[in-house]
Structure formats: structure tokens, C-alpha cells
């Protein structure tokens, strides 16, 4: 059985995915103990304050960890509208706007010498025009059952909804697909100490149950 663990909102801010952060230590420990792998969804210029082009050393550090996949998670991860949270590509509602933002995002990734093959919408939602423009740029889109609204992507669609804080795990297309956020106080599904311990319990159960044969993969390795 394939098991994936995806983590959103990684960016080079203290507490959000830099060397020395507790959250990154948790991931390293799970890799050492269980062989876990992780797909990291990274905004290319989080809140217009953390452009990855100015943090190539950080990107190189992440890439040096062979249990990480680096994937795209929007550009700014924020909106001008205040009523839709940080659903950046839901706010962009014309092809010209979307293509312009995609170019900004890809320029950042090109500057650090990495081409992500995977995508997740910031805030989960995307406008149909965004979906049309985004799909051809990626090999897969990681979407949520409850938030995709039957939109069809011009790339592989990977579903998942289980949080790392949950003990009731469901199968998605025969796989276990965890999703989470690296940090933040707006939900319970982030990498704090209690959720790390819950994840250890879940992975220990999966890896020690004789009837279950576990193989950890990044989302990109499913394609």
C-alpha cells in the first residue's frame, strides 16, 4: 500500500521550514524511523515577503534531502479580496491574469534551478480559468475531494483529505494520502509536537501490521 504525506505553505521563514525548526526535525525523525517521504508545497514568494529566488541556498538544502519532493503552491499565497482567504488562484478569473501570475511563479522557480511537476491550489480553491491555464504546466494537481467542485485538470488529479492529526484514516484510490500544513494557528492540522506524536502512532501501526505492506512515496512518484 502506498502512503504519501504532503505539507503545505513551506517557506523560508523561521518556524515555517528552515534548518533548526522543530517541524523540520519531526520530518527528519519520521524518515529515519519509518522511511517516510514528504511532498513540500512551496509558494514561490509567500505573502510577497519570501521570494525563493533570494533563498536559493534554502532550496538547495531542501533538495539535498532525498525524502523531499518540492512542488508548487501558488506565488503570493494571498489575495487582494478579503472575503476569500488566501485563495490566490480563485481570485484570478481571466486567462491573462492567471498566465501573468504563472509566469511570475515560474520565473522564481527557474531562478533556483528547479522545475516542480506538482501543484496544489493555495487555499484549495481555484477559478475555472485558473484550472485551464495551470494544468498544462504540471504533471499532477493535488486536490481535495470537498473543494475541487468537479473541475477537470489537464494533468493527473490526485485526491486526498486525511490530516496528520486524525486517527481515522481512509483510503483514496487504494492509497493513504495525508495532507497537512507546516505551521499556523488557524487549524489543528500542522506539524506541532502532539501531531508529530499522533503521526508516529499512525505510521507505527501501518508499518508493524503484518497484513499491510507499506511503501512511502512522494506524490510525484505516483505519476
Per-residue pLDDT, 168: 80
Q: What residues are paired with 216 via a beta bridge? A: 3
Per-residue pLDDT, 186: 79
- Find, among 115, 71, 69, the residue nearest to 218 by Cα: 69
> pLDDT over 70 for what percent of the chain?
100
Per-residue pLDDT, 2: 96
Query: What average pLDDT does the segment 44-71 reach?
Result: 98
Give 213's contacts (C-beta < 8 A, 6+ positions apart): 1
Per-residue pLDDT, 181: 96
Give 110's contacts (C-beta < 8 A, 6+ positions apart): none
pLDDT exceeds cutoff 90 at 134: yes
Per-residue pLDDT, 128: 96
Per residue in 142-180, pLDDT (tens digit) is 998 777 778 999 999 998 778 998 878 888 888 999 999
Per-residue pLDDT, 187: 80
Per-residue pLDDT, 160: 79
Under CATH, what is the fold of the domain 2-222? 7-stranded beta/alpha barrel (3.20.110)
Please report, for the chain, the start and end positions of each structural domain, with discontinuous segments joined by +. Answer: 2-222
Per-residue pLDDT, 145: 74
pLDDT exceeds cutoff 80 at 21: yes
Per-residue pLDDT, 28: 98
Which three-class secondary structure string do you get for the chain?
Answer: CEEEEEEECCCCCCCCCCCCCHHHHHHHHHHHHHCCCEEEEECCEECCCEEHHHCHHHHHHHHHCCCEEEEECCCCCCCCCCCCCCCHHHHCCCHHHHHHHHHHHHHHHHHCCCCCCEECCCCCCCCHHHHHHHHHHCCEEEECCCCCCCCCCCCEEEECCEECCCCCCCCECCEEEEEEECCCCCCCCECCHHHHHHHHHHHHHHHHCCCCCCEECCCHHHC
Per-residue pLDDT, 110: 98
Amino acid at each position: 500500500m502506498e502512503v504519501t504525506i504532503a505539507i503545505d505553505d513551506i517557506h523560508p521563514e523561521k518556524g515555517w521550514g528552515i534548518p533548526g525548526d522543530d517541524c523540520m526535525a519531526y520530518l527528519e525523525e519520521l524518515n529515519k524511523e519509518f522511511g517516510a517521504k514528504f511532498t513540500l508545497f512551496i509558494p514561490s514568494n509567500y505573502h510577497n515577503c519570501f521570494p525563493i529566488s533570494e533563498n536559493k541556498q534554502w532550496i538547495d538544502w531542501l533538495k539535498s534531502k532525498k525524502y523531499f519532493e518540492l512542488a508548487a503552491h501558488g506565488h503570493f499565497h494571498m489575495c487582494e479580496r478579503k472575503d476569500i482567504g488566501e485563495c490566490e488562484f480563485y481570485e484570478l478569473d481571466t486567462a491573462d491574469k492567471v498566465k501573468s501570475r504563472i509566469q511570475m511563479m515560474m520565473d522564481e522557480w527557474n531562478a533556483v534551478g528547479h522545475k516542480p511537476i506538482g501543484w496544489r491550489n493555495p487555499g484549495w480553491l481555484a477559478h475555472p480559468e485558473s484550472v485551464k491555464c495551470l494544468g498544462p504546466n504540471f504533471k499532477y494537481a493535488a486536490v481535495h475531494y470537498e473543494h475541487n467542485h468537479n473541475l477537470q485538470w489537464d494533468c493527473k488529479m490526485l485526491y486526498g483529505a486525511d490530516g496528520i492529526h486524525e486517527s481515522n484514516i481512509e483510503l483514496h484510490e487504494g492509497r493513504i494520502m495525508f495532507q497537512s500544513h507546516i505551521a499556523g494557528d488557524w487549524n489543528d492540522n500542522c506539524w506541532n509536537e502532539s501531531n508529530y506524536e499522533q503521526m508516529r502512532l499512525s505510521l507505527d501501526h501501518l508499518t508493524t501490521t503484518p497484513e499491510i505492506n507499506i511503501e512511502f512515496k512522494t506524490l510525484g512518484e505516483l505519476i
